[in-house]
Structure 1
């Protein structure tokens, strides 16, 4: 797995989405990580230093794997760029059907009337 900086990761992620537009999927996973081993974290905590946790983000299309670490300082910028990429590349999702409130309430009233008449 290749660990990239933020900007190259985002460009590679865009390329993955472009290659899988016709057929295929891209899987993106996020994980809470400190990028240090447990022994190193224990040493830092015992000496009084605070461990900085980061977000490990992995992406794969089944053939190629990429990953990056996002710190607290870069998280706002990364989230905005990531959201833009997702909005641009998820074109095959279907929009939800909106139900008309008036029609739904009319149907409910008719069902209630038919239940009452069936009981009598």
Structure 2
């Protein structure tokens, strides 16, 4: 698919989550980026201009790749929309099995048991 604006990116990410609901995975990565090459950024820093960094967001399900950039102004709105999207579509995660601390401590004591004497 390629590079999208933030709102179409969220719509496409929603459909990607729905396609992979039963079986499959979706990987989402966030990265700070200036969207300029290193040569251009070196020229800007030597000229005394500051570089405006954006957040580069990529998503893939192994078959399709999409990406977008979000500036500092739109970051709060995008994060709120992204959080809502995750809450709706990440329901398939397995609950973590928590062990009772008292039972785990008792099992550890039983396993330790009497120590064997060392051979000399």
Whole-angstrom distance in 2 between the partners of 1:101 and 1:64? 44
- TM-score, with normalisation over the residues of structure 1? 0.80
Structure 1 segments unaligned to the other structure (5+ residues): none
For residues 4-19 of structure 1, the aligned pairs below 5 Å read: 4-19=4-19
Number of residues of Structure 1 aligned to a counterpart in Structure 2: 117
Residue by residue over 1:54-96, the C-alpha shift from the partner in whole angstroms, topping out at 9 and shown as x without a partner, is 1211112233221101222222332232233223212222111
* Residues 67-106 of structure 1: pairs in structure 2 closer than 5 A: 67-106=67-106
Which one has the bigger helix percentage? 1
State the match for 2:36 in structure 1.
36
Distance in 2 (alpha carbons) for counterparts of 1:102 and 1:39: 59
SS across alignment from 2:114: helix
- Unaligned residue ranges in structure 2 (runs of 5+): none
* Alpha-carbon distance in 2 for matches of 1:15, 1:54: 25
Distance across 1 between alignment mates of 2:98 and 2:26: 29
**Residue 60 of structure 1: aligned partner:** 60
